[in-house]
Structure 1
Amino acid sequence: MKVVLVSSQALPTPPPKYGGLERIVYWLSRELIKMGHEVYLIAKPGSRIEGGVLLEGTGDEVSTFRKYESFVKQLIKDGEAVVHSHEWLYAFGLLRMRGVPCNYVLHTHHGAAYNWPSPPPFEKPNLMGISRHHALLLEAEMGIPHKYVYHGVPLEEYELYEGPREKWALFLNRATPEKGAHIAVWIAKKTGVKLKMISGGSELYGAFAGYAAMVAQRANNYGVEWLGEVDDVTKKSIMSRACCVISTATFEEPFGLFAVEAMAVGTPVVALARGALPEIIKHKKTGLLSRNLQEFAEHLNMVSRGVIDFNPRSIRQYVESHFSAKKMAENYLSIYKDVLNGNCF
């Protein structure tokens, strides 16, 4: 099968540091290629793909669509091919408005459907979320059915760590208010639990451009170690030694890739039970889900003091069963085949 994966034009695919969407698209491309499929990746300049074809965009989603519209239409005309968009604006959805049937074009939302018409201006747009909770929210917002596929990580790149863990916790998430970085600092001050923070990406969101600097200053004032953005090797090393990875997000988290990354190395996750996190974290087995900040503080204290003990190997096995990159690719491939057979949704 020929698969055209359309990534965002915000960051290279894969990203050098921060960037969940682009990392997922990269991992998906690798798994599809391993399965023997012919993969084309449309992505921001500076991206890469091993064993597939890179088509560099312009840095803008709409002009990137214009650049590759004829090429993609020809691929579809020549044989079995699907276009799987992951863009924020879904510019490649314009294919549907320019004569391409529903069984060749799909789209995965990685967040809210910002500025989308509800419903979209064409029937059966084949829209997908990244968790059951996310898909249900999108269905309610847009008034049309959504399927969903969980993200998965390449397990060979996440080594299980069964050694001794430190007493400090780790915040690993984007530096925007809804992700709750400022709340994590407050919790550390309230509980006395030492905290390290790997965070960044706020410069991509104009309204929150100064947020990371504000949180970093507050962290410094309260004895929290602000590390900013780090590379993957450093992130995995720190993540493996933490007593837990925490989430103080205040919004309906669509998935929570940070949680799967942590669990892949055997680190439990303590999180507010928001959005899809109750689907991703198995309470008392791979982490703790908190109903409110008071309970969160109690859970964090318990984990940091070793009152609750987690088995790193069991946590890792849970990820192997539910959230591998291979499983993600297999699930998407099943939907591709359904759509190609005319089962649009």
Structure 2
Amino acid sequence: MIAVTGVPRRRDAMRIVMVAPPWYDVPPRGYGGIESMLAELVAGLSRRGHDITLIGAGRAGTSARFLATYAEPPSERIGEPMPEVLHAAKAYALAVDVDADIVHDHSLAGPLSAAARAVPTLVTCHGEVNGELGEYYRALGPAVSTVAISEAQRRLAPDLTWAGVVHNAVETESFPFGERKEDWVLWLGRLNEDKGAHLAIDAARAAGRRILLAGKLTEQAEHDYFEREVRPRLGPDAEYLGQADASRKRELLAAARCLLFPIRWEEPFGMVMIEAMACGTPVVALNRGAVPEVVVDGVTGFVRNEVEELPEAVEAAGALDPRACRFHVAENFDVEVMTAGYERVYRRVITTSAEPEEGTRDLALPVT
């Protein structure tokens, strides 16, 4: 394994195998919230002197030793089971030859092989755990330890083998800070009904503000939703820009008056919220999932219970201090904070052989 060039290996360094999902490169070229988080975590751990092997699909895009399961990510096959299963099988075979202290798996099918390896497996739960995903992790039993990405997520399934809570994070300095905002608002995400793009258009229009929308539109369900709910709402004051790459996303986030985040599900985190605030842009969101853990109401945005309350919040967002938004992310959602959290969880899991102990709540990172 290799570490970041010029970073000496610590005496207490850990040897970590990181397994990515198969669908996008790490870091992603466009959409890919998990892949973005993974790239930041690998960089942060490498800076701390740990040995990282990343198993994923596509190109090598981080400082870690990279082992590929696919030459190109099978992005066009999202939703099909075989790419996920084949990726998991290849990842297990590749990891066998790596001398590791722990395997940190972010894929769906990968944890199925956890019981067959000698070292502990840690799984970050990136999805909704109060349904079939939670049942899946329960069925895996003590073979895996789980990490929640928010307290809200952990509350949905308190009986899982939680080893702690570690919020997702960004490299704050990689996002441009915009103190002077333009007069339009932004929606950014995946064109899925649960993400509420149509509600964002309605709220912006009710506030008399132009809205720009940028997001992933590749799967059939996304196209169906777009044609049914989004396209009929587009017009001079509501424009869909297509999918934004990393550079374009930062430009949009830094310039927007606010980010609208009217989610319709218990989203366990929401990376775009901290990306917006890192740019000094407040977030106007509905009170679902992890939103109240991420956004400080009245300081870095507004958290509202009803859709009808969003237009007034859009207007009020213009008076919030962009510097407070940036500071909040730097203090609570920066990569260094996340990396320190995962270090603590890794050591706990390695020491206890993936058996969670009483009092693991002390691993949870501060919310504000």
Relative to the length of structure 2, the TM-score reads 0.83
1:85-234 aligned within 5 A: 85-87=105-107, 89=108, 91-98=109-116, 100-101=117-118, 104-113=120-129, 114-115=132-133, 116-117=135-136, 119-123=138-142, 125-139=144-158, 143-145=160-162, 147-162=164-179, 164-200=180-216, 202-204=217-219, 206-221=220-235, 223-234=237-248
Q: Is the 8 A contact 1:189 1:222 kept in 2?
A: no
Query: Counterpart amino acid of 2:27?
Result: P
| Superimposed CA distance per residue, residues 101-157 of structure 1 (whole angstroms, 9 cap, x where no aligned partner) | 5x52100111124454362233262111211101221336xx544522101101221
Residue 32 of structure 1 corresponds to 45
Cα displacement (A) at 1:95:
3.0
What's the % identity of the aligned pairs?
A: 28
Residue 284 of structure 1 corresponds to 298
Q: Is the 8 A contact 1:96 1:122 kept in 2?
A: no
Relative to the length of structure 1, the TM-score reads 0.88
Give the whole-Å Cα distance in 2 for the aligned partners of 1:334 and 1:49: 26
| Superimposed CA distance per residue, residues 143-201 of structure 1 (whole angstroms, 9 cap, x where no aligned partner) | 54452210110122112222x2122111112110000011112223333221111122x
| Superimposed CA distance per residue, residues 269-322 of structure 1 (whole angstroms, 9 cap, x where no aligned partner) | 11111110000001111111111112112211333xx4xx22212221111110
**Structure 2 portions without partners, runs of 5+:** 1-13, 75-82, 357-368
Q: CA RMSD in A?
A: 2.1
Give the whole-Å Cα distance in 2 for the aligned partners of 1:275 and 1:71: 36
How many residue pairs match? The answer is 328
Give the whole-Å Cα distance in 1 for the aligned partners of 2:93 and 2:137: 28
Give the whole-Å Cα distance in 1 for the aligned partners of 2:241 and 2:330: 29
Give the whole-Å Cα distance in 1 for the aligned partners of 2:29 and 2:91: 25
Residue 101 of structure 2 corresponds to 81
Residue 63 of structure 1 corresponds to 86
Residue 11 of structure 1 corresponds to 24
Local SS of the residue matching 1:147: strand
Local SS of the residue matching 2:142: coil
| Superimposed CA distance per residue, residues 25-82 of structure 1 (whole angstroms, 9 cap, x where no aligned partner) | 111111111111111111112x32333211111352322232242442343xx4x521
Query: Counterpart amino acid of 2:122?
Result: L
Give the whole-Å Cα distance in 1 for the aligned partners of 2:96 and 2:347: 18
- Pick from 245, 260, 265 the counterpart of residue 246 of structure 1: 260
Give the whole-Å Cα distance in 1 for the aligned partners of 2:228 and 2:94: 46
